[in-house]
Amino acid sequence: MMLLWFHGNNSIPNRGRWAYHGASMRPSQPPPDVPGATDAERMDNAVRKLFTVSKDAYLREEDRLKRARDRKRPRTTREAV
């Protein structure tokens, strides 16, 4: 989205001096089908769908973070201790 400032008189009535150019909105998508008897249960299931991660993916990320942390941590040797 781009905002342009028009110098001089604005030929479009009631738009003010600021105007949007090239901005278009995508049509909204219908909400996904989520099982549940009540609104609260459907909301709970939708949030659970969004934030559920497989155990393998969680462990891979945990290992990656551990390796990165170990690389940053200074190594101690027997002579330094």
Single out the residue of 29, 34, 30, 28 nearest to residue 52, CA to CA: 34
Q: Return the DSSP state at 55.
A: H
Taking only the tens of pLDDT, the chain with its 81 residues reads 445 555 555 555 555 555 555 556 677 788 778 899 999 999 999 899 888 889 999 999 999 999 999 988 776 666 555
